[in-house]
Amino acid sequence: MVRFIANKFIGKSKEVAENTDEKFLKSSIQAVARHILERPQNDEEWSDRGPYTSVSGTGLALALNRDVLQEVLHRSVNKEIQDIFNYCLQNLSKNRERQARYLCGDLGTLVASLNVSVRDDVIERIEQISHILAEKSYPNDEVLYGRAGYLAGVLWIRYVHFCFIEKIDTNFSRTVNENLISDDCVKRVLKAMYESGRKYSKKHNSPCPLFYEWHESEYIGAAHGLAGIYHTMMSFENLLAPSELDDLKASIDWLLTVQITEGNWPSSSKWFGREREDQLIHWCHGASGVIHLYIQMYHKTRDEKYLEACKLAGHLIWEKGVIKKGPGLCHGVSGNGYAFLMLYRLTSDEKWLSRALCFARLMMDKDVQGQQRTPDSPYSLFEGWAGALCFLCDLLPERRDKAQFPLYPNTF
């Protein structure tokens, strides 16, 4: 089964990118924003948990981009944002495990809903959740439901939230207040993650020091797998003991060895050493998510092996990343486009910016849309148009140097 649509801009990226100018981007932003704001109301998006498919993710997309939206729509979207977040904060779960989930639970809703008027209460709740995740009995370590999600949420608050939500310029070179959520909270979650990975690796004789499973599968990608766990742990390398950091780096380097020649990574350990015709090239499973880990590693170390892995993955995404599952972040065109945008931020190579702009045009192309299926949650942040809205806004000239994958940021 072929999972991608032929990229008709191969060999034409520079020319197409030059025509994908600010006027095109703002026209597309206007169309997508109206599509979201005029969507038919759906009970499921209001009852769902977490920013992955619920209205809290839609609210975050509107809040992140409110200034651009006010310009292109000629009106404020503050009421829509306030209504969404007021509802979300009034309907949090009483279940401790659901409270601790990130993209699919209350933790993510709290991170998305954070603003100056509720800051103290929300931060207190987020800090309390660290105790739930630190319990050895907590079952998940990955990003969507587990401990890695907590670390991603703290990163988002420290590196991104203030710049776009509260309009404090961070320049992305430092955190505004790295103690806003205390390092003690981060440390207890990190400790539990590390011990979980060591225990699993020893028990199963895994190929590297830190190994993990989710629902009895050893996933590799950003959403449920090793890449997401390693990425978030490495973002807090300063809080790890030297031996713990050595184990993490050894695991990251081992993961590099299972990159397929074409540039992808297997979706799980069951595919090690086996060819798969229907490769998964998504943020959730595959090169489009794993690449963020090695972007971070090259930024931190300047070791060329990480950059080469990123380039190889980037070329694969360019060739086979116009996928059939729609415009979203998790397994859609915007999520794959962010790989190019982050590569551009890392390297300043205009080739990657051109490819990101081409993916924006492909995402808005009616012929491409006609070959895609409608996602289950077509207006949501991770499956639908709210994620696409973030991608389009981050492509604007004044935003490119600060672009971040929504709720899964890097440390620069």
- Is the alpha carbon torsion for 14, 15, 16, 18 positive or negative? positive
167: left (phi over 0), alpha (psi -120 to 50) or beta: left
Matching residue, tokens 């390092």: 183
Report which residue type is found at 69. L
Environment class of residue 351 by beta-carbon count within 10 Å: exposed (0-12), middle (13-18) or buried (19+)? middle
Which of 4, 11, 31, 9 minimizes the C-alpha distance to 20? Answer: 9
Q: What angle do CA 403, 105, 93 make, to 5 degrees?
A: 140
Q: Go through the chain and tell me how many residues it has.
A: 412
3-class DSSP assignment, residue 236: coil
State the Cα–Cα distance between residues 258 and 285, nearest whole angstrom: 14
Which of 272, 230, 280 minimizes the C-alpha distance to 252? Answer: 230
State the Cα–Cα distance between residues 308 and 286, nearest whole angstrom: 16
State the Cα–Cα distance between residues 373 and 165, nearest whole angstrom: 33
In what helix (H) or strand (E) does residue 299 lie, and over which residues does it extend?
helix 287-301
Which of 297, 302, 334, 296 minimizes the C-alpha distance to 317? Answer: 334
284 is in an annotated binding site: yes
Structure tokens at 285: 């499973």
Structure tokens at 113: 């809903």
3-class DSSP assignment, residue 283: coil
- 393 close to 68: Cβ distance less than 8 angstroms: yes
Report which residue type is found at 164. F
Angle between the N-to-C axes of helices 385-394 and 55-64, in degrees from 0 to 180, rounded to the nearest 10:
20
State the Cα–Cα distance between residues 147 and 111, nearest whole angstrom: 14
**Maximum C-alpha span of the chain:** 60
Q: How many CB atoms lie within 10 A of CB 132?
A: 18
Q: Pick out the residues of the known binding site.
A: 284, 330-331
Q: Pick out the residues of the known binding site for Zn(2+).
A: 284, 330-331
